[in-house]
């Protein structure tokens, strides 16, 4: 299972872009990069995933480096409701089980 | 609401008692996963089912833990002879698997277990 490195915490001003980095240098060729977040006392919530190309959906953008060893999740206009722990998770293969690390606690400040 | 539901939401029990949790996945989701989360940590994978078949169990799942998904719909997770170390949030997730690697999981709200 690929290991990930994320900063333990980050702050962001409300309305500004939040850029959350993740290092996953041991990712396998068939593994996608998934991002989930967990708001306090709730179950994790899927945000976005990607394999090689950059991806964008209504929640966020995902930038994956060409060597796939790192990625950045971008929340374009952070709101107070985006305060959560964000997890970067390489996953793939038959089981698609998610191996969570300790994630990044993003605190959006008013 | 058609999301993943879990019952009960909270369970307090005494050490040595048996407890059972239930997970109802999103309708027609063929995969169901169980995770456990302790305070300050990310969720840890326990086991998963594809339809009614249990395909993988983590080393974390001791002999006191058993999970079933008898008709490929809802699932139960039973812990026998509970210990204080079993205190945690137990999360269930479901997904649709059709053979590709992409597999977004939808999580329920969790069952918080406290063992006294």
Contact B107 A91 (CB under 8 A): no
- The radius of gyration of chain B from alpha carbons, rounded to an integer in Å, stands at 14
Give strand pairing partners of B115.
Answer: B13
Distance from CA of A110 to the nearest CA of B (A): 25
Instruction: Give the pLDDT of residue A91.
Output: 87
pLDDT tens column, B69-112: 998 899 999 999 999 999 999 999 999 987 766 678 999 999 99
DSSP B85: G
pLDDT tens column, B67-81: 999 988 999 999 999
Instruction: Give the pLDDT of residue B101.
Output: 60
Interface test with A, best of B4, B37, B42 (most A CBs within 10 A): B42
Q: Considering only CA atoms, which of A41, A26, A25, A33 is closest in space to residue A89?
A: A33
Q: Which residue in the set A45, A92, A101 is minimally distant from B42, CB to CB?
A: A101
Q: A93, A29 in Cβ contact below 8 A?
A: no
- CA A101, distance to chain mean position in Å, is 11
Q: A37, A87 in Cβ contact below 8 A?
A: yes
Q: Considering only CA atoms, which of A104, A110, A89 is closest in space to residue A14?
A: A110
Instruction: Give the pLDDT of residue A39.
Output: 95
Average pLDDT over residues A52-77: 95
β-strand pairing of A9-13 with A104-109? parallel
Tokens representing B89? 């949030």
Confidence class for position B1, pLDDT limits 50, 70, 90: low
Confidence class for position B29, pLDDT limits 50, 70, 90: very high
pLDDT at B61 over 90: no
């Amino acid at each position: 299972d690929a290991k990930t490195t994320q900063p333990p915490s980050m702050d962001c001003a409300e309305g500004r872009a939040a850029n959350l980095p993740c290092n996953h240098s041991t990712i396998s060729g068939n593994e996608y990069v998934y991002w989930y977040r967990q708001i306090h006392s709730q179950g994790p919530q899927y945000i976005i995933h990607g394999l090689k190309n950059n991806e964008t959906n209504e929640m966020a953008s995902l930038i994956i480096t060409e060597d796939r060893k790192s990625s950045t999740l971008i929340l374009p206009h952070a709101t107070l409701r985006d305060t959560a722990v964000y997890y970067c998770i390489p996953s793939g293969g038959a089981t698609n089980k998610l191996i969570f690390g300790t994630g990044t606690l993003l605190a959006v400040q008013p | 609401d058609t999301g993943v539901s879990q019952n009960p939401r909270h369970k307090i029990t005494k050490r040595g008692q048996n407890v059972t949790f239930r997970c109802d996945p999103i309708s027609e989701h063929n995969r169901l996963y169980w995770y456990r989360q302790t305070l300050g940590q990310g969720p840890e994978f326990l086991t998963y089912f594809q339809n009614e078949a249990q395909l993988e169990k983590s080393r974390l799942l001791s002999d006191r833990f058993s999970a079933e998904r008898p008709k490929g719909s809802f699932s139960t997770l039973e812990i026998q002879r509970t210990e204080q170390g079993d205190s945690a949030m137990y999360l269930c997730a479901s997904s649709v698997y059709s053979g590709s690697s992409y597999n977004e999981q939808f999580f329920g709200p969790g069952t918080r277990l406290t063992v006294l």
